[in-house]
Amino acid sequence: MLYVLHGDQPESARKKLTELKAAVKNREVREIDGKHIDPTSLVVALESSSLFGTDVCVIIEGFISSAKKREKAFASTLSKILDASSSADIILYEEKEIDKTTLAKLGSAASVFLFKTPVILFQFLDSLRPGNAKTTLAYFSDTVAHEAAEVVFVLIVRRVRQLIQLADHITPDGLQSWQAGRLTAQARHFTIEQLVAMHEELLAIDIAIKTGATPFTLAQLLEQFIIKL
């Protein structure tokens, strides 16, 4: 069976990946770095049986998104994966959304899971700035109605870290030029000291939740965090 997990929301995708691993707990799990895939290693992983006589589950991460770097080998490697998926469980994991043309090459038998960040969540993250609490709280309320507070928390932390880097004239890895431009404009609403203080407060929230040192839920703590901006 072939499973495809893709999209720009890695937190939810990783959760699904964990669920799939748990579902095949009686099988040997083999993980392959798809960005630097070796044909020989791939064949060995796909075709050899487990030392314990059990079936195997092969997880290949980043294979499709790095296809342009090895266009000649991509088709033949993909063919091997598709052939092997008829007798083994194979999971293709991508932290980007796969285009429809490429998905079509995987065949109709593939189980595809798309984890895409809702537009409202981007609007919420972009609204984070001093003096904008009312608007940000409205976006936050709509966001947590559809997304777990834990996912929102992780994305806030990532955004604050990106803003700190940009405020220090460092472009975070993985940002397109248009994204860096938009976030740089957002970073100008803060001083570097404010951003560092925000990061420290988020760390305190994380510790409080994990240690049970607060009577508030994560969503309530995030509301308090927003009001203080």
Q: Is the pLDDT of residue 167 over 60?
A: yes
CA proximity to 46, closest of 32, 64, 33: 32
Tell me the average pLDDT of the chain. Answer: 88
* Domain covering 119-227, topology: Zinc Finger, Delta Prime; domain 3 (1.20.272)
Given pLDDT bands bounded at 50, 70 and 90, which one contains residue 189?
Answer: very high
Q: What does the pLDDT read at residue 164?
A: 97
Look at 48 and 42; give whichever has higher pLDDT. Answer: 42
- Give the pLDDT confidence of 73-119 residue by residue, as tens digits: 788 888 888 888 887 889 999 988 888 888 898 888 899 999 888 88
Q: What does the pLDDT read at residue 54?
A: 60
Where do the structural domains in the chain lie, given as residue ranges? 2-114, 119-227
Contact predicate 129/189, CB 8 Å: yes
Gyration radius of the chain's alpha carbons: 21
State the pTM of this model.
Answer: 0.65
Q: What does the pLDDT read at residue 23?
A: 86
The CATH H-level superfamily of 2-114 is P-loop containing nucleotide triphosphate hydrolases (3.40.50.300)
Residue with tokens 């308090």: 224
- Give the pLDDT confidence of 133-157 residue by residue, as tens digits: 999 999 999 999 988 899 899 999 9
Q: What does the pLDDT read at residue 68?
A: 61
What CA–CA distance (Å, rounded) separates 94 from 62? Answer: 5
Q: What percent of the chain has pLDDT over 90?
A: 51
Q: At what angle do helices 149-167 and 119-126 cross, to 10 degrees?
A: 50
CA proximity to 216, closest of 208, 207, 204: 208
- What is the mean predicted confidence (pLDDT) over 51-67? 78
- Give the pLDDT confidence of 123-138 residue by residue, as tens digits: 999 999 999 999 999 9
Q: What does the pLDDT read at residue 70?
A: 64
Q: Is the pLDDT of residue 71 over 70?
A: no
DSSP state of 63: T
Q: What does the pLDDT read at residue 76?
A: 82
